[in-house]
Amino acid sequence: MNIIILGPQGSGKGTQAELISDKFNLFYLDMGKFLRGIAEKNPLVDKIINERGKLLPDGIVFSLMSEYVTPKVPTRDGILFDGYPRSPAQYELLKQWLAEKGRKVDRAIILEISEQASIKRLSARRICVKCGTIYNLITNPPVNGLCKCGGSLYQRKDDEPQAIKERLSAYRKTTEPLTRVLAKEKILTKLNGERPIDEIFEDIVKILKSDV
């Protein structure tokens, strides 16, 4: 089983992705986290995605993804793609790659939340300067305003309201054409992402079990 999970910033797709991959024994590819790790070692990638705030070319992203994922897949029952693909072109490359292995994308799930909900969730996010633990002032507030390790917390610049609006605009611009393709292929399921985590996960499990 190979799954794509989509959703705007603050939709909770990372949380659902971890739950899904554990439940169905899938290799979890968090593309954002993976590329940030690459950027720490590769000055060119760092310059493009961090200094310029732009997306990497489709071919480069595909090469990095396939090289990283290929040796890890045999030990799992499939792959959960979080943050990849982000465009129809990337999706076509992914489909070709899977087809060469006799596989396909079985399901795409998108968690939908309003812009207001996304801004509210992300603007409340805080990160520990020492250990990197992430808190949310609404859903997971720190005790006494500090991390459990004793470190102080900070807010990322891209979690400020105006920056979030710009990120959401970029997300819609790149992702909406992809969702149209996925819907046309009849593998896209849309879910309300503003509900409790357990409720959303229960719906996803039902959907994926029906695909097996």
DSSP 31-88: HHHHHHHHHHH-HHHHIIIIIS--PPPHHHHHHHHHHHHTTTGGGSS-EEEES---SH
Q: What is the dihedral of CA 96, 58, 29, 158, to 10 degrees?
A: -160
Encode pLDDT of 101-145 as tens digits. Answer: 999 999 999 999 999 998 888 888 899 999 988 888 887 789 888
Contacts of 168 (CB under 8 A, 6+ apart): 8, 9, 115, 118
If one counts every other C-beta atom within 10 angstroms of the C-beta of residue 23, the result is 13
Q: Residue 24: its pLDDT value, please?
A: 96
Q: Name which of 187, 193, 192, 178 is nearest 208 in CA terms.
A: 187
125 catalytic residue (yes or no): yes
Architecture of domain 2-114+169-211: 3-Layer(aba) Sandwich (3.40)
Using the 8-state DSSP alphabet, how is residue 170 labeled?
A: H
In the chain, alpha helices (H): 13-24, 31-41, 43-46, 58-69, 88-99, 115-123, 161-184, 197-211
**Which of 107, 121, 125, 126 is flagged as catalytic?**
125
Residues 6 or more apart in contact with residue 173 via CB below 8 angstroms: none
Known catalytic membership, residue 23: no
Q: Which of 107, 121, 126, 167 is catalytic?
A: 167
Asked if 126 is an active-site residue, the reply is no
- Give residue 76's pLDDT: 86
Angstrom distance (rounded) from CA 212 to CA 195: 25
Catalytic residue (one of 13, 107, 121, 126) = 13
Q: What is the DSSP letter of 125?
A: E
Is 121 annotated in the active site?
no
pLDDT at 52: 46
Mean pLDDT confidence for 74-79: 88
156 as an active site residue: the answer is: yes
| Residue in 86, 107, 121, 126 annotated catalytic | 86
How far is it, in rounded angstroms, from Cα 208 to Cα 119? Answer: 30
Is 92 a residue whose pLDDT tops 50?
Answer: yes
pLDDT band at 173 (very low <50, low <70, confident <90, very high): confident
Q: What confidence tier does 48 reach under pLDDT thresholds 50, 70, 90?
A: low
Q: State the catalytic residue, choosing from 23, 148, 156, 209.
A: 156
Assess whether the previous peptide bond of 85 is cis (omega < 30° from 0).
Answer: yes
Quote the mean pLDDT of the chain: 88
CB of 188 within 8 A of CB of 182?
Answer: yes
| Residue-level pLDDT at 56 | 72
